[in-house]
Structure 1
């Protein structure tokens, strides 16, 4: 069962001043999610070419993309997230174009050495699944 996100983005776990890296952006992403994170942190999101450590990350992923690519992206993205910072995979909700099953994300996360939480509704069209390294919370 999906939980529902707040209006201000606190559910992501990012804090003021955090640098959040965004992976696999495309023109179908929900700009309201991006704005919530930027308003919460007071910082612009940085893209996957950013070459310093970050405080957290979001990965936009759609069904039809290669699951192995998702595992590789999770490994690459998490490698620059410091101190087990918030790490999210965002997928279109069921019934939307590109909707991916949470089991696909969970499988890719497991391959990458991560645990996947229960999906959270983060906007009308997108779900978010928080990932943590094995042994780091639930």
Structure 2
């Protein structure tokens, strides 16, 4: 289910709002369309696809264990984010064979200068919002 007991959605709790440009990365056959629709309803437009090359307000990253390097995908997403933009990492819920531990998400976030600010259950997925302003890795 995409709605919570209070009538809101995970996307409300995470911070999506009308007018935002949101890029979607990592779409596959296993994603929940209702979760995508929650975001599209809130922002008032379709999600942008991987080929989009503009600046975005948020990135929706579907991530599963075995998808590659989460740090690399966070770096790619960060390069496209507006100054106050955020990244939402969606992982399969605990117990799923492709579940990713929260500590792994937090470690990747810290490495690229992001920090976890909130988490919400989203159907069979867990959404973690990563915001800018975390520890910056020295170059």
TM-score tier by shorter-chain length is 0.7 to 0.9
**Runs of 4+ in structure 1 displaced over 3 angstroms?**
none
Question: Which residue in the other structure is 2:92 paired with?
Answer: 92
Kept in 2, the 8 Å contact 1:120–1:129? The answer is: yes
**Residues 52-131 of structure 1: matches in 2 within 5 Å?**
52-66=54-68, 69-123=69-123, 125-131=124-130
TM-score (norm 1): 0.84
Kept in 1, the 8 Å contact 2:25–2:50? The answer is: yes
Unaligned runs of 5+ residues in structure 1 are none
1:118 deviates by: 4.6
Kept in 2, the 8 Å contact 1:14–1:86? The answer is: no
Question: Which residue in the other structure is 2:18 paired with?
Answer: 16
- Report how many residues are paired: 130
1:8 deviates by: 6.7
Unaligned runs of 5+ residues in structure 2 are none
Match of 2:42, SS?
helix
Question: Which residue in the other structure is 2:33 paired with?
Answer: 31
1:114 deviates by: 1.3
Kept in 1, the 8 Å contact 2:14–2:120? The answer is: no
Kept in 2, the 8 Å contact 1:116–1:129? The answer is: yes
CA RMSD of aligned residues (A): 2.0
TM-score (norm 2): 0.84
Higher mean alpha-carbon deviation, 5-14 vs 48-57, is at 5-14
Q: Give CA deviations for 1:84-128 in whole Å, capped at 9, x if unaligned.
A: 2232101000012311111111111122121123532122x1001
Higher mean alpha-carbon deviation, 13-22 vs 35-44, is at 13-22
Q: Does 1:132 align with 2:134?
A: no
